[in-house]
Amino acid sequence: MAELATRSLPLSGVHGGSAIVRLEPAAPATRISLRVRAEDVPALSSALGVDLPMKPKTSVYANGRTALWLGPDEWLVIDEGESGLMTAAANSGALHSATDVSHRNTAILVSGAGAASAINGGCPQDLSLDAFPVGACSRTLFGKVEVVLLRTAEDAFRMEVWRSFSDYAFGLLSEGARDAAL
């Protein structure tokens, strides 16, 4: 009798932004939290098809997958499709920890000329292009919630946030977007 369950997305139907900031929920994605020791990074990189960046605050994009450096042995790997990240990691044959966090996180896409200002409405990091260039990523705070920020273009960011914090993050971004447009 069991029919297939359907997905309900956090932030479904929300909209916001201002004249110079566009806010939209990102499409569902596959994500793993990946933990690897330095010596096993090459094996995981090749298994996942994306080179895990070793430099703090950087990300690497390849084959539809983005690997974000979060800590010295920690990466967030995002695949925009429904691909088998867990399986790929398991097939590496190297010591690692991979945990599926596809549903733990959701993401908000922030774009437009005022994107950085809107995020700086709650984020204490320097988001100038010098300090936070395209491809830069960091776990940080946004108001009272923790987020992972990835700059996808000069005027575009992806904000990864735990699902139950996403309403708050979207609300605070809306405030920031409104103020950035003034």
Partner 1 sequence: MLLIHCPYCEEDRSELEFRWAGEAHIARPENIAAISDEEFAEFFFLRNNEKGLTYERWRHIHGCGRFFNAARDTVSDSFLMTYKAGLPKQPVPVAERFAAIAEETSVETWEQTEGDAR
Partner 2 sequence: MSGSSNTTGAFRIKGAGRHTPARTARFTFDGKSYTALEGDTVASALLAHGVHLLGRSFKYHRPRGILTAGPEEPNALLDVSRGAARRQPNVRATVQEVFDGAKIASQNRWPSLSFDIGALNDVVSPFFAAGFYYKTFMWPREAWHKIYEPIIRRAAGLGVAPTEDDPDHYASRYVHCDVLIAGAGVAGLTAALSAAATGQKVILVDEQPEVGGALHYDASTMIDGQNGYDWAQAAAAKLKAMPNVTVLTRTTVFGYYNHGFLGLVERVTDHVARPGRDAPRERLWQVRTKRTILATGSIERHMVFANNDRPGIMLASAARSFLNHHGVAVGKNVGVYTAHDSAYEAAFDLKRAGVSIAAIVDSRDKPGEAVLAEARKLGIDVLTGHAVVDTAGRLRVSSMTVARNGNFDRRKIKVDALIVSAGWTPSVHLFSQSRGKLKFDEAKQRFVPDIYAQNSVSIGACNGTDDLPELIDEAITAGGGSVVVSGENRFDWTGGMIGAAEGAGPETAVKAFVDFQHDVTAKDIRLAVREGMHSIEHIKRFTTNGMASDQGKLSNMHGLAIAAEMLGRPIPQVGLTTFRAPYTPVTYGTLVAHSRGDLFDPARKTPMHDLEAAAGAEFEDVGNWKRAWYFPNRGETMHEAVNRECKTVRDIGGVFDASTLGKIEVVGPDAAAFLNLLYTNAWDTLKPGKSRYGIMTREDGFIYDDGVVGRLAEDRFHVTTTTGGAPRVLHHMEDYLQTEFPHLKVWLTSTTEQWAVIAVQGPKAREIIQPFVEGLDISGEAFPHMSVAECTVMGVPARLFRMSFTGELGFEVNVPADYGADVWKAIWERAESMGACLYGTETMHVLRAEKGYIIVGQDTDGTVTPDDAGYGWAVSKKKTDFVGIRGLKRPDLVREGRKQLVGLLTKDPKEVLEEGGQIVADPNQPKPMTMLGHVTSSYWSENLGRSIAIALVAGGRARMGETLYVPMADRTIAVEVTDMVFVDKEGGRIHG
Q: Which residue ranges make up the site for partner 1 (CB under 8 A)?
A: 56-57, 70-72, 74, 124-125, 138-141, 146
Vertex 50: Cα angle to 65 and 7 (nearest 5): 25
Radius of gyration over alpha carbons of the chain, in Å? 17
Q: Which does 139 bind (CB under 5 to 8 A by kind): partner 2, partner 1, none?
A: partner 1
b (16+ CB within 10 A) / e for 108-145 = bbbbbebbbbbbbbbbebebeeeebeebbbbbbebbee
Nearest residue (CB) to partner 1, 71 versus 84? 71
DSSP-derived secondary structure for 51-92: PPP-STT-EEEETTEEEEEEETTEEEEEESSS--HHHHHHTT
Judged by CB under 8 A, the stretch of 43-51, 62-70, 77-85, 116-124 that binds partner 2 is 116-124
Nearest residue (CB) to partner 1, 58 versus 83? 58
- 179 sits in which H/E element: helix 166-180
Q: For the window 129-158, what string marks contact with partner 2 as x by the rule CB under 8 A?
A: --x-----------xxx-------------
**According to the binding rule CB under 8 A, does residue 82 interact with partner 2?**
no
Sites of contact with partner 2 (CB under 8 A): 1-10, 18, 28, 33, 35, 73, 95, 97-105, 117, 120-126, 128, 131, 143-145, 162-165, 167-168, 171-172, 175-176, 178-179, 181-182
